[in-house]
Structure formats: structure tokens, C-alpha cells
């Protein structure tokens, strides 16, 4: 029946991407932006948003050129060995990013809610739930975030509004004070956090035919929603703590929440409730990459034309790999290594790869299966 066509709506795409983009960016970016460019971090956010927007435009052109999703295109046009190589790389990248997301998730929850609890327990629990969500397929995933969207948007803007009352205007500025190079570094970081945009290349498979343009427009709207939220949050963080203090904080947004006071409320602090925002946004990111990791791993062994069985085993395999990555980030401090990987390998490849795939595909024509 109509509800089981494995297709999602444009509104669902928008809401999914909003969650995917604001999770890590609002947690990790503020202190790094303050480190690089102080108040000019606001400018870096806009420039980063513009770069991400250009990247999305480029991905939109690639989708128009491919006329299908990237995995189907790879299988149809590229040689098998190259297809497998690219699928393998993308799969591993998905594992890395999901692992990083899971690490940030468990770390934030441990820090904000359960300082005495074991990191591994929190990680295990959330990965089990994420695997359960992924097992429901793209439709189930989209539905979860379609329902949560309004609730979390209200919570987020309530938090930002309450925090805005405590802004010290002296902390904001001076502007255009940082070196342009540092502002650009901040922008690149913003762009790095918006790299989940790459996932848009997989989406044509989950959309009704002929809705690709609308889909890209919805993702662009989601991107600018995320830029707006990030801008607002950074502005409030600057006003609340000043860039000097911001640099030293691990997760400034979490600290901000513990400082929010609602006049005439019977509750003293809201941090436990507000952490729900990051609970769901980070979960969305883990979910996204766990989902694509599993899909890519499966495509590596079972091309799309053949009937595939044992989805659960691929999912389990990827979940274990994500778990291992998140453990390495926490216990071995591999997050620095991950950042280097993203800067020097992941990001350049994700920028160049779509274009290369299209060029090679166009030059070769359809491959016989």
C-alpha cells in the first residue's frame, strides 16, 4: 500500500536535514570558532553557510546529471572495481562520522546528565536504539523526525529566547578584528560540520521521480535553517560568556543551558530538559550515517539489482564498527586524528568525488550488467 513505497516527502527531507546539520555543529563549533576568529565567528558562520550552499548547488547539478542516486549510478556506469572502491570508501567514511557522532553523543550525555555512568554503557544503549531505528528503513526514520521537529524547534527557540535575556552586549564585538585567514579557517570548520549534505546524493532513490529539484531546494532550506540556528546560538554564547571564556569550554551550549533561568518558574535549571535537543539531533546524525553505512556495505556485496537478504547482519556489522570507532575516539583520543582525516582526506574527496564519478560515468556510458 501507499505507506510502504520506501519513498519520503519533501517536508520529511527538510526536517531530516535540519536535524542532521544542527547536531554536531551547535555543540562542537562554538568553542572552535571562538578559538579561530572570536566575534568574527559570526562572519565565519555566514561564509561557511555560503560555501556549504555552493557545495549543495554543485551536488544538485551532479544529481541532475546523474538522474539517479549515486550508488545506482556507480553500479550502472563505473567499472566494478572502481564502484567497489568508492562504495568501500564511502562506507568507511560513514562509519567514521557515525562513530564521531556517537562519541560526541555519549560524551555530552555523560557530561550533562550522568557523570557517574559508564561511557560504554551509554554508547551501547544508543547504538542499539539507533540500529533499531535504522532497521525500520528510511520511511520510519523520516517519520520520527517529522514528528519531533516542531517539538524540538519550540524547545530550541525557547532556550535561545531565555538565554537571550542574559546577553552582555559588551562581550559582542569587535568585528573584523581577526586575521582573514583565521576567519576562513572558521568558515571551513562550519563547512566541515555541514558535510552531511553529501547524503543528498543518496536521496533520489527515496523520492518520487521528478521531485529532485524540490528535494535540493528543501535541503537548501534546511541548510539555512541550521546556519540561522548556529548564528543565533553563537551570538548568544558570545554575549553570555565572551569569546575568551568560550574558547576554554568543551560544549558551551551545554554550559549555557545550565545558566538559563526562567523568571517565576518553579524550576531552577533547565539543562536536563534542554539536553533533549542534542539527544535527538545527535541521534539523527548517528542514524543517518548508520543507515548509509549499512546501505553502502550491502551494495558492496549485493548490487542493487539482486535480491538482498540478511540486512540485519550488515546493520549489525556496521553498528559494531561504529561502536569500535566511538570507543577509539573516547579512550584513545582519536578525535584529533579524525579531524585531520576529515580535513585532508574526507572533505576533499567528498567534494571531488561526485564530479569525478559523473565525468567518468559520462565518458564510459552504461555498463552491461
129 binds another protein per the rule CB under 8 A? yes
Q: Which is nearer to another protein, 136 or 310 (CB)?
A: 136
**Cβ–Cβ contacts within 10 Å for residue 240, how many?**
21
Q: Which is nearer to another protein, 7 or 367 (CB)?
A: 7
Shortest reach from residue 121's CB to another protein, in Å = 8
11 binds another protein per the rule CB under 8 A? yes
Residue list 73-92, contact with another protein (CB under 8 A): none
366 binds another protein per the rule CB under 8 A? no
Cell of 147: 514528528
312 binds another protein per the rule CB under 8 A? no
Cell of 341: 582525516
Tell me if 33 sits within 8 A of 292, measured CB to CB: no
208 binds another protein per the rule CB under 8 A? no
Helix (H) or strand (E) holding 220: helix 212-248
Tell me if 258 sits within 8 A of 269, measured CB to CB: yes
Shortest reach from residue 143's CB to another protein, in Å = 4
Alpha-carbon gap, residue 187 to 251, rounded angstroms: 19
Q: Which of 173, 276, 317, 355 binds another protein (CB under 8 A)?
A: 276
**Cβ–Cβ contacts within 10 Å for residue 312, how many?**
12
- Of 160-168, 228-236, 270-278, 361-369, the window that binds another protein (rule: CB under 8 A) is 270-278
Q: Which residue has the cell 579524525?
A: 338
27 binds another protein per the rule CB under 8 A? no
Tell me if 193 sits within 8 A of 33, measured CB to CB: no
Q: Which is nearer to another protein, 147 or 356 (CB)?
A: 147
Shortest reach from residue 262's CB to another protein, in Å = 11
Shortest reach from residue 175's CB to another protein, in Å = 36
Shortest reach from residue 1's CB to another protein, in Å = 3
Tell me if 77 sits within 8 A of 68, measured CB to CB: no
| Max intra-chain CA distance, the chain | 70
**Cβ–Cβ contacts within 10 Å for residue 269, how many?**
14
- Of 38-46, 231-239, 275-283, 333-341, the window that binds another protein (rule: CB under 8 A) is 275-283
153 binds another protein per the rule CB under 8 A? no
Q: Give residue 9's Cα distance to chain centre.
A: 20
320 binds another protein per the rule CB under 8 A? no
Alpha-carbon gap, residue 281 to 275, rounded angstroms: 10
Helix (H) or strand (E) holding 142: helix 137-164
Alpha-carbon gap, residue 122 to 332, rounded angstroms: 18
Tell me if 214 sits within 8 A of 63, measured CB to CB: no
Tell me if 87 sits within 8 A of 313, measured CB to CB: no
264 binds another protein per the rule CB under 8 A? no
Q: Which is nearer to another protein, 283 or 292 (CB)?
A: 283
Q: Which is nearer to another protein, 157 or 273 (CB)?
A: 273
Q: Which of 132, 165, 176, 344 binds another protein (CB under 8 A)?
A: 132
DSSP state letter for 344: I
Q: Which of 64, 272, 320, 359 binds another protein (CB under 8 A)?
A: 272
- Of 26-34, 67-75, 133-141, 176-184, the window that binds another protein (rule: CB under 8 A) is 133-141
User: Site residues (CB under 8 A) for another protein?
Assistant: 1-4, 9-12, 109, 113-114, 117, 122, 125-126, 129, 132-133, 136, 139-144, 146-148, 258, 266-273, 275-276, 279-280, 283
Amino acid at each position: 500500500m501507499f505507506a510502504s513505497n520506501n519513498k519520503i516527502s519533501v517536508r520529511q527531507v527538510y526536517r531530516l536535514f535540519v536535524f542532521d546539520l544542527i547536531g554536531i555543529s551547535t555543540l562542537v563549533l562554538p568553542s572552535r570558532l571562538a578559538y579561530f576568529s572570536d566575534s568574527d565567528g559570526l562572519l565565519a558562520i555566514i561564509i561557511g553557510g555560503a560555501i556549504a550552499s555552493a557545495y549543495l548547488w554543485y551536488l544538485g547539478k551532479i544529481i541532475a546529471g546523474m538522474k539517479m542516486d549515486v550508488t545506482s549510478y556507480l553500479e550502472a556506469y563505473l567499472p566494478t572495481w572502481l564502484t567497489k572502491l568508492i562504495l568501500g570508501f564511502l562506507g568507511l567514511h560513514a562509519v567514521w562520522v557515525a562513530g564521531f557522532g556517537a562519541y560526541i553523543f555519549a560524551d555530552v550525555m555523560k557530561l550533562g546528565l550522568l557523570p557517574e555512568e559508564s561511557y560504554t554503557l551509554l554508547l551501547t544503549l544508543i547504538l542499539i536504539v539507533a540500529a533499531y531505528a535504522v532497521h525500520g528503513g528510511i520511511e520510519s526514520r523520516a517519520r520520527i523526525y517529522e514528528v519531533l521537529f516542531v517539538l524540538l524547534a519550540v524547545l530550541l527557540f525557547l532556550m535561545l529566547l531565555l538565554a537571550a535575556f542574559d546577553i552582555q552586549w559588551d562581550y559582542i564585538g569587535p568585528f573584523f578584528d581577526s586575521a582573514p585567514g583565521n576567519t576562513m579557517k572558521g568558515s571551513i570548520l562550519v563547512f566541515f560540520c555541514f558535510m552531511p549534505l553529501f547524503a543528498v546524493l543518496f536521496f533520489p532513490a527515496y523520492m518520487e521521480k521528478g521531485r529532485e529539484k524540490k528535494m535540493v531546494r528543501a535541503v537548501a532550506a534546511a541548510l539555512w535553517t541550521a546556519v540561522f540556528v548556529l548564528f543565533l546560538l553563537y551570538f548568544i554564547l558570545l554575549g553570555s560568556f565572551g569569546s575568551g571564556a568560550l574558547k576554554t569550554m568543551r560544549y558551551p551550549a551545554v554550559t549555557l543551558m545550565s545558566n538559563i533561568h526562567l523568571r517565576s518558574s518553579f524550576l531552577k535549571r533547565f539543562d536536563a530538559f534542554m539536553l533533549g535537543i542534542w539527544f535527538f539531533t545527535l541521534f539523527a546524525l548517528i542514524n543517518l550515517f548508520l543507515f548509509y553505512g549499512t546501505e553502502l556495505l550491502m551494495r558492496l556485496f549485493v548490487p542493487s539489482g539482486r535480491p538482498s537478504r540478511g540486512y540485519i547482519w550488515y546493520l549489525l556489522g556496521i553498528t559494531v564498527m561504529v561502536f569500535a570507532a566511538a570507543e577509539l575516539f573516547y579512550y584513545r583520543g582519536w578525535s584529533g586524528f579524525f579531524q585531520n582525516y576529515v580535513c585532508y582526506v574526507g572533505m576533499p574527496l567528498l567534494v571531488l568525488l561526485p564530479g569525478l564519478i559523473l565525468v567518468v560515468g559520462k565518458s564510459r556510458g552504461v555498463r552491461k550488467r
